[in-house]
Structure 1
């Protein structure tokens, strides 16, 4: 048997081995794509621009575009340092910290919202104190930010930790040996080298925040964000009533998807 024939035989065998996995995978891909296709087919019967020009829709868009970046910034400023500590240090209680990071991802969002209300609701010490100085933590934009940050922050922490974990510690040690302190090393060495994962995590955090519904509905049903406005419109008018805002939210999500693909692969679990 010639070399070329052997290679063709192995390639054919490999293709046959992948046939069943490919067919099964194709079924789930069709399942993913079908809702998009059928939903977007409704856009031809709706004046999206006119619907998005209504005061209710514009208010929801404005609230979402105001709160989601703030939530993302809070998650990034507080979460990236935590991610670095988790990537570089072992300490008592580390598994508990990791569990606390993952917990908001796995509990139902409405349960997370209920937990937030029990902590910062208007009848709690924290909530009452905040309301007394004119900063209510529920039924306000602050409440929206609290809900978004709670459910979305784990994304940037998890991805940033994986990014820092992939950085060769010898490079940080070399920086320290040249006289740079811990903060300078973090800022000039660790952070740039983990930048791709961090930016991907920031993108995912923003997407999760702007699309958050369950916790937001519990903590701050008013003022409306895009997801809560979609729910109200669906109750009042069905699927066709939500097409404009849903398409706008989908457009934002697609932009985030492009950003994530640009910055690289994003891990979904904390590496042990």
Structure 2
């Protein structure tokens, strides 16, 4: 066998190997896309405009668009500094802190909601004090924010930490050597360089918050958000009744995905 035949033989052996990941990945892609296509095929049977104009739907959309940005802002305000601390410092109990951050991601949301009730429910010390002050922590928009923040905040912490971890520490040291303090270095060097990862985390946090159902149902069944309204409509009338609100939620999610692709990269979550 000459050299050309040998090369052709090796190439023929490589082709099946390349096809395996393509076929397996293609099957998963079809499985992921099929529910979307099947669901969208039902939109013709639903009066989308009329249902979205209903007062109940309007209230749910308004509540979700009000609470999700607030939850995202809270998670970002406190989560980004925590992410920087985890990326740049070593301290006793660091593994415990990391575990606490990750725990809401692996807990079933309903369990997370139950935990919140044991901490801030009406019959807890914190809940009683808040209720006496006229600021109930459950059954209110504040309760929705608490639930959303609990389940969504880890996204911004984990993603931002990966972003800070990718920043060359020598650049921060150079800033310090020029006379800038820790806060100025963080603001002018670390934060801009990790901007893409942070924005990706913020958008993922928003997407998780606006779609939160389980913990919200436990902590604040009322007032309704889009996910809780969808559940109520499904129980009352089946799939066709939830199509309009589901489309609204899907549209918001698509905007979030576009933002992630524009401003940051989702893989930074796992690149550390």
TM-score (norm 2): 0.95
* Per-residue Cα deviation, 1:114-157 (whole angstroms, up to 9, x for no partner): 00000000110000000001100000000000000000000000
Q: Which runs of 5+ in 2 are unaligned?
A: none
- Confirm whether residue 90 of structure 1 aligns to residue 90 of structure 2: yes
Shift of 1:99: 0.1
Contact 1:69 1:206 in 2 (8 A): yes
* Per-residue Cα deviation, 1:232-268 (whole angstroms, up to 9, x for no partner): 0000000000000000001111111111122332247
Structure 2 partner of 1:189 = 189
Contact 2:221 2:228 in 1 (8 A): yes
> Within 1, Cα distance between the matches of 2:157 and 2:201?
7
Question: Aligned in 2, Cα 1:195/1:268: closer, same or farther, shift over 3 Å?
Answer: closer
- Confirm whether residue 26 of structure 1 aligns to residue 26 of structure 2: yes
- Confirm whether residue 215 of structure 1 aligns to residue 215 of structure 2: yes
> Within 2, Cα distance between the matches of 1:5 and 1:82?
59
The aligned runs of 1:63-102 (5 Å cut-off) are: 63-102=63-102
Q: Which runs of 5+ in 1 are unaligned?
A: none
- Confirm whether residue 47 of structure 1 aligns to residue 47 of structure 2: yes
> Within 2, Cα distance between the matches of 1:25 and 1:269?
21
Contact 1:162 1:267 in 2 (8 A): no
> Within 1, Cα distance between the matches of 2:244 and 2:198?
32
> Within 2, Cα distance between the matches of 1:179 and 1:6?
64
The aligned runs of 1:117-136 (5 Å cut-off) are: 117-136=117-136
- Confirm whether residue 58 of structure 1 aligns to residue 96 of structure 2: no
- Confirm whether residue 198 of structure 1 aligns to residue 215 of structure 2: no
What is the Cα-based RMSD across aligned positions, in Å?
Answer: 1.9
Question: Structure 1 stretch 18-27 or stretch 3-12: which is displaced more?
Answer: 3-12
| 2:266 aligned counterpart, secondary structure | coil
Question: Aligned in 2, Cα 1:170/1:243: closer, same or farther, shift over 3 Å?
Answer: same
Question: Aligned in 2, Cα 1:244/1:18: closer, same or farther, shift over 3 Å?
Answer: same
* Per-residue Cα deviation, 1:20-69 (whole angstroms, up to 9, x for no partner): 22212221111111100000001112121111000000000000000000
